[in-house]
Amino acid sequence: MSEINPRTAIGSNIPDSIDYAKNEIQRLQNEYAETSRSVESLLGEFDEIPEIIEDDVQKSIVASLIKRMRDTTKRIDGLRELEKMPYFRRGQGVDQFFNGLFDRLTRREKRNRPGAADVLQQRLTDYDTKLLLAEQERRRKEAAEAERKAREAREAEAKAAKEAEERHLAAERARLPETREIKQEAAAVAEEMASAARIEAAVANDQAEAAYVDTLARPADIMRNRGADGTLTTMAREFYAEIENANLLDKEALWPFIGLDAKEKALRQWAKTTGHRQQMAGAKIGDRPKSVVR
């Protein structure tokens, strides 16, 4: 049996989610037309109420209307729950089935138990981290060795240049022609050696620079690999922030990032513990009159 969602099948006449909603609203409008009319009737009465209550007769009318409106809303909410329950239970079943399959492979939320893919992910990360550290250490040692060779080559270049200069000066100071010729030949040899040393030093410097650049490579570039089946693996930096001890958190630093709803909830809880008798800057706390209709 195919697992393709029938809603996505070409030529399928099954309505999409928008059609489901429109059809359901139309059905409810037809079946609960009397409920809709009762709401419109109550709203019509509301339109007739003056903005300011001036006597007990108007107060009685308002109180009665409030009670009937609340009774109607309770009946509406009961009907809503009754109509929604089959869909709600079916939705629970759908979630339980598919989320169960999902969770066995990989967790949907961070605090859930790791799925098989999560376990494998951690094993892969451990393995790749070991390879990455080993490769980075190899490159560091290679760069250090290349720098050592470059330093020695620079020292050899400086020594050869000094030797060539000394030979050249010695040839210029020679008085006898035969002595001058011998020293000039020695100076020429020293100059060739100095030239070779310069070339070796330049090559060593280039190699040291290349080795150093290799140490700066990103983990993603070092660990990039494509398997025989085309699957690509690499590494990246994972940023994380996890609570170890909530009591030690910097509340002042975190406060701007806490939503207003959460702040109001915390304020109400705090006010409850103080009997709503203690004030706090930035808030109003206390008790006040409120009409009650039963």
Residue-wise pLDDT tens digits, 195-219? 898 999 999 999 999 999 999 899 9
The answer to whether residue 11 scores a pLDDT higher than 50 is no
Per residue in 134-144, pLDDT (tens digit) is: 999 999 999 99
Check: CB of residue 23 under 8 Å from CB of residue 14: no
Closest CA to 51 of 40, 42, 62: 62
Is residue 78 over pLDDT 90?
yes
Give the residue from 143, 141, 131 showing the smallest Cα distance to 213: 143
* Euclidean distance between CA atoms 189 and 196, whole angstroms: 11
pLDDT at 289: 92
Residue burial 153-185, b: 16+ Cβ < 10 Å; e: rest: bbebbeebbebbeebbebbeeeeeeeeeeebbe
Burial of 238 (0-12, 13-18, 19+ CB in 10 A): exposed
- Stronger pLDDT, 190 or 282, i.e. the higher one: 282
Model pLDDT, residue 151:
93
Please tell me the distance from the alpha carbon of residue 197 to that of residue 156, in angstroms, as a whole number. 6
The pLDDT of residue 5 is 55
Residues 6+ apart with CB under 8 A from 103: 112, 113, 115
Q: How confident is the model at residue 114 (pLDDT cuts 50, 70, 90)?
A: very high
The mean pLDDT of the chain is 89
Query: What is the reported pLDDT for 286?
Result: 94
Share of the chain above pLDDT 90, in %: 68
Helix or strand run (H / E) with residue 191: helix 177-215
Residue labelled with tokens 């059905």: 27
Global pTM reads: 0.64
Mean pLDDT of the region 27-52: 95
Residue 173 confidence class, pLDDT cut points 50, 70, 90: confident
pLDDT surpassing 80 at residue 253: yes
The widest CA-to-CA distance across the chain, in whole angstroms, is 140
Residue 279 DSSP one-character state: -
pLDDT of 1 strictly over 50: no
Q: Which residue has the tokens 């699957």?
A: 231
